[in-house]
Structure 1
């Protein structure tokens, strides 16, 4: 289906009950609907927004286009949770209504002040020549659940020398002032961040472009986040336009972090090496919040811009990752699945298998939604691994290769193809004989945590319903493979 601008740029308030019922019916027939990941009821989900803890609950919003699996007029959809596991559907939170947001309410963040939750977002407007006009906007969520939008932007337009690719405000307090970082693009088509300051969250003063050690690093910087962790300042962002470097930056767009030091008075973030946060095929626009116990929790979009997915034909697209706890180890961000996920464990299965120069299909373990802890030990084998969602012609492979010194995720034969122009294998350098994997498998995704979060691979897969077997294999010798499986409700 080819979508016209009129079809793409409609608010949910224009929808007829019959239209939404048809969407729901079509989505309900999709074989790729997730069991425990956040996904849209229908339509397209993308960036997580406004992730925070407020009034005894986690609040999470996401970008949402209601009418199909395309990028059109974006709304903010709202979920709440007390435990990061079970989420309550709170419905649509922000709907475009003013001229400056006539073509969508884009991404942003939240901040708690005086018992109210301030929602900062980008208003997207297109003029008659279809030129983008971006502004930064504010809505306020009160403790009784009502939301009041400010009728005018709090920042009308980008400063001179910057394009209208000007979006995704991150607001935080440091010292006696509030600060805002906005993703931006210089007129020279180089990505950067712009720094603003305020005393009341409503009147903002442009300070300067944030100075970094990465002056020419992609053509656009999106979705900034800033937080402190273990005494270090962390700047998270999604730069667009990076070129592949070895095993890094293999997807169309990427997300990662700088660990350094932020001097708000000088407007400087001393950036060191950029660490790509996820080595899988589908990960973008992550956002974090601090839990009441001090943990920094991250959730990302398990998808990518400018990418189509097989579920698009079922009138829905994309999901969010499981929440992850962040820490710093040896100067790098590590990500672990949140401990609360253990609450979802039901039946446990455990197998310890020795395999030599063979491939074996398991008869008591199947590829079901849940958690898998896997240890692969290459005793004399040069290569060994495990394949999920195995069918007649389908499989998704996790492979440890000692001879070539890498671990990889291979979705060459995972089912319906996705973004194959960017390759079907993702690797990390790895020269040890033993590797531990924690895998979260759902109906159309898997997230692999390597060695307690040293690396993560997040990926969508779209196999046939009957591709539900698990196989293990070893080449050129003997390998020990241990598997623990917990099914999720």
Structure 2
């Protein structure tokens, strides 16, 4: 189906009860609905927004177009949780309802101030010639649950030297000042990030552009997020327009980070190392982080990408969010590990230990469509070893370690219905060690694989048949000793 501009910019309020009911039924009938991931009731989900802890609960919003699996008029949809595991759908958090967000409430962030949660977001507008003008807007969540918009934008204009691609404010507080980074595009069509400062979240001063050693790195930097962790400065962002380079930058758009000294707020200078991708899989974009009451830095990403068709589209919905991940720094890298609360999902445990030699083996109870599994391989001399999962007669998704190249490889060539094949069906990255650990969270239509306790992560959507449930362990050209623990979810 080709969506017209009018269809994409219809409001949910314009849809009849019958239309919405029919769409919900269509979505519920989809064989690829997830069991333990945040997903939209209907329509399209994208960027996580406003990730925060407020009034005793975690709050998470996401970009939402409710009327179909396309990017159209965006709302903020609100979910909340007491434990990062069980999420309650609250409903629409921010509607595009005035002249400053008439064509969508775009991405942003949240911060608590004076007992209220302040939501800073980009209001998208278009004039009669379809020319965009972005505004940075504010909405406030009271402890009662009511959200009210501030009457005027808090940042009206795009500074000189930048185009109308100016969005996604991420706010934090330091030394009694509020700061916000905003993703931007220079007039020479290169991406960058700018910095604002405020005393009260209402009046903002443009400080200037962040100074990095990446002066020409893609044409737009989306969803910036600056924070400090273990006395280092971390800038996360999603650059668009990078050229593939070996195993890197293989997706249509990338998400990653630069790590170095804390940001010098006066000179706006970030002294940093090379840009590193956050996730090595096929479907990961626009991550956002927050600090929880225990001081943990937690990340959630969009498990999807723009401008890619997904098999669930035909059922009226698209995309989900990743599981929450705790961040740390080890060996000059951001380490991502599933938050410990996810252990609450675990049900029956099964354990195996074995040696495999140039063979493929299956084991009792090692199957399913929704589970957590940890596999550790050691004492190996095989050319390659790994796991096939969501496997059947014709289908399989494969994660393996290629010992000649010292690379982990994720292969979804035969994962079921195709998605994004124009960008290849394998993803790989360098991992070295005498032990290789795969920690998988498999849901109905996705997998998140944490390698060696979060040294690397592969996040991907997969769309296999419901009967493709097998798990097979294999070694090629030699032996591997392994043990595996699997929990049903």
Classify the TM-score, shorter chain. over 0.9
Q: Which moved more, 1:472-481 or 1:154-163?
A: 472-481
Would you say 1:86 and 2:86 are equivalent positions? yes
How big is the shift at 1:316? Answer: 0.6
Distance change in 2, residues 1:378/1:308 (3 Å): farther
TM-superposed CA distance for 1:270, in Å, is 1.9
Deviation at 1:81, TM superposition (A): 0.7
Q: What displacement does 1:431 show? A: 4.3
Map of 2:218 onto structure 1: 218
1:209, 1:477 → 2: CA distance?
54
Q: Does 1:346 align with 2:347?
A: yes
C-alpha displacement at 1:441, in angstroms? 0.3
SS in 2 for 1:37: coil
Q: Post-superposition shift, 1:119? A: 0.5
Whether contact under 8 Å (2:369, 2:466) holds in the other structure is: no
- The Cα of 1:433 is off from its aligned counterpart by 4.6
- The whole-number CA distance in structure 1 between the counterparts of 2:106 and 2:347 is 38
Conserved? CA contact 2:106–2:168, under 8 Å: yes
Instruction: Name the counterpart of 1:444.
Output: 445
Counterparts of 1:347 and 1:187 in 2: how far apart (Å)?
57
**Is the Cα–Cα contact under 8 Å of residues 402 and 432 in structure 1 kept in the other structure?**
no
Per the alignment, residue 31 of structure 1 pairs with 31
Instruction: Return the alpha-carbon distance in structure 1 between the equivalents of residues 28 and 108 of structure 2.
Output: 30
Shift in Å at residue 403 of structure 1?
2.1
Q: Which residue of 1 aligns with 2:255?
A: 255
Which portions of structure 1, spanning 4 or more consecutive aligned residues, are displaced by more than 4 angstroms?
none
Q: Which moved more, 1:73-82 or 1:354-363?
A: 354-363
In 2, Cα distance between the equivalents of 1:100 and 1:431? 51
For 1:258 and 1:474, the matched residues in 2 are separated by 36
Distance 2:99 2:24 in 1: 30
Identify the range of structure 1 (420-429 vs 58-67) with the bigger mean alpha-carbon deviation.
420-429
SS of 2:59's equivalent in the other structure is strand
CA contact (8 A) 1:402 1:431 kept: no
Shift of 1:376: 2.2
Quick one: distance in 1 between partners of 2:228 and 2:272?
14
Structure 1 residues 417-436: aligned runs within 5 Å? 417-436=418-437
SS in 2 for 1:412: strand
Equivalents in 2 of 1:379, 1:198: separation in Å? 57
**Residue-by-residue CA offset, 1:296-335 (whole Å, 9 max, x unaligned):** 0100001011111100111010000000000001111000
1:370 aligns with 2:371: yes
TM-score, with structure 1 as normaliser: 0.98
- What's the C-alpha RMSD, in Å, of the aligned pairs? 1.2
Task: Indicate the residue corresponding to 2:312 in structure 1.
Answer: 311
Please list every run of 5 or more consecutive structure 1 residues that lacks an aligned counterpart in the other structure: none
Partner Cα separation in structure 2 for residue 47 and residue 457 of structure 1 = 18
Q: Given that residues 47 and 301 in structure 2 are in contact (C-alpha distance below 8 angstroms), is that contact kept between their aligned partners in structure 1?
A: yes
For structure 2, list consecutive stretches of 5 or more residues without a partner in the other structure.
Answer: none
The secondary structure found in structure 1 opposite 2:161 is coil
| Contact kept? 1:278, 1:456, Cα under 8 Å | yes
How many Å separate the matches in 1 of 2:236 and 2:297?
Answer: 13
For 1:27, what is the secondary structure of its paired residue? helix
Q: Following the alignment from structure 2 to structure 1, what is the Cα–Cα distance between the partners of residues 405 and 118?
A: 51
Query: C-alpha distance in 1, partners of 2:176/2:474?
Result: 59
Name the counterpart of 2:274.
273
> C-alpha displacement at 1:156, in angstroms?
1.5
Q: Are the counterparts in 1 of residues 43 and 316 from structure 2 also a CA contact under 8 Å? A: yes
1:290-439 equivalence runs, <5 A: 290-377=291-378, 379-439=380-440
Instruction: Specify the SS of the correspondent of 1:364.
Output: coil
CA–CA distance in structure 1, aligned partners of residues 272 and 232 of structure 2: 12
Note if contact 1:290-1:296 (Cα within 8 Å) is conserved in structure 2.
yes
| TM-score normalized with structure 2 length | 0.98
1:366 aligns to what SS in structure 2? coil
Query: What's the secondary structure of 1:358's corresponding residue?
Result: strand
- Is 157-166 or 9-18 further displaced after alignment? 9-18
Q: Distance in 2 between matches of 1:378 and 1:96?
A: 58
**Aligned equivalent of 2:290:** 289
Partner Cα distance (1:404, 1:221) in 2:
32
Deviations 1:45-85 (A, max 9, x none): 00000000001110000000000100000000001111100
Contact 1:378 1:384 in 2 (8 A): no
Q: Does 1:113 align with 2:113?
A: yes
Q: CA deviation at 1:168?
A: 0.2
- Counterpart Cα distance in 2 of 1:216 and 1:174: 29
**Does residue 246 of structure 1 match 2:246?**
yes
Q: Does 1:458 align with 2:464?
A: no
SS at 1:269 equivalent:
coil
